[in-house]
Structure 1
Amino acid sequence: MKKRFIWVCAAALLFSLGMLAWIYPELPARVPMHWNAAGAVDGWGERHMLLMHSAFLLGVPVLWLALPTLSPQRFAVDSFEATWWFSGMALAGLFAYLQCIHLLAAWRPGFPMDRALVGGIGLFFVLVGNVMGKVRRNFWLGVRTPWTLANERVWYATHRLAAKTMVLGGLLALAAALGGLPGTVAVAALAGAALVPAVFSLVYYKRLERAGTLEA
């Protein structure tokens, strides 16, 4: 999986750089950089700023390879290594996708950036949500609240819930993007998918604490 992760990152970077080299000469000096919830451009910048996505994409493999070496032994990623590398591949794919749709939006005025953005993030949530229940206690990936990190039982229950909320939120975001629903629907679905497990971790921890059944 580690080698596959490296190959996927390399392919994603080369593809996005190739698209950048193809489209860049045809771009205007100033390009859209930010869109509001209604899909209207509300921020502009120099076209060289489009390179920032490639910089993030280059940073993904560096970061993903380095972080496991920094983990304390008790919180190592070895116990869910396949999930770790899969999540890294999904993240690299997301950054490559963001680079491509940003280029298309700068190249072709009227490109539905808001729908493309929430649709891509929704797909990312679905992919990572499908493996979220396999993530074990660590400092880098998952719902890392004080309560999940403090207790294995809370971590396990929270991530089983997060797997469901992320898939559901991602599917709702995809449906909103494909169905042309307001961007606020997709944003609410994605925000809820992330916030509900975090709140649950606190509630569940306190419930175990009151019952006197907390374990390290």
Structure 2
Amino acid sequence: MPPHDPRPPPPLVIPDFVLRVEDLSHPGASIFFDCVKPREALKLAVEASYTWLYTSLTAPTNVKTITLVLRPFDGVAYTLGTHEMKEINFSLDWIKKSEARARDEILGVLVHEVVHCYQYNAQGTCPGGLVEGIADFVRLHADLAPPHWRPKATEKWDAGYDATAYFLDWIEKRCGEGTIRKLNGSMKDSKYRVDLFEDVTGESVNSLYALYCEHLERKSSGEISHS
């Protein structure tokens, strides 16, 4: 057993935040500022990413700046950038459309997009559905899931977004807290292999998904009531 290290773990590295609003007259901009404080909202999103994908000892420190751009466009949000400089574009039109539950939607979208700033993606080879599923897994565990989200069986386990998020959540409950953190960590330095799931859980992803779909069917039939 290694000797106990009495030193506290290093503090989480919070990047610099930059905000750019391209249309202050847009009603979505007023809703945004009425509902959240930008720095606090982004800090919450960073902390959620650290909490569910890393520990204080493994959290990446490469992200130096996250720029949030609020502007009108179709869609919801997307993230781009370099290893150190990330940019999140968030639709003012979507914020306006989500006015009835704007605060939770804003925070939820920011959590999802900030995960993209930090998660590992197997050097760009991870299936897009798993990338998006992990981002929504963190959103789910941050208690920011939209009210319409429900666990559901889809044709493929990596259909993405909330469908894959609930599958990952089921794996986390089945295999123990920290399982998805390990899965994310396994994609840091190597190309994607479907066997990564077996390495982390001891079971193939196809076997896990078959069990998950069976679980959903039994729950739907009333045979089981717990999640």
TM-score w.r.t. length of structure 2:
0.35
Task: Pick the structure with more helix per residue.
Answer: 1
**Bigger RCO (CA 8 Å, 6+ sep):** 1
Task: Pick the structure with more strand per residue.
Answer: 2
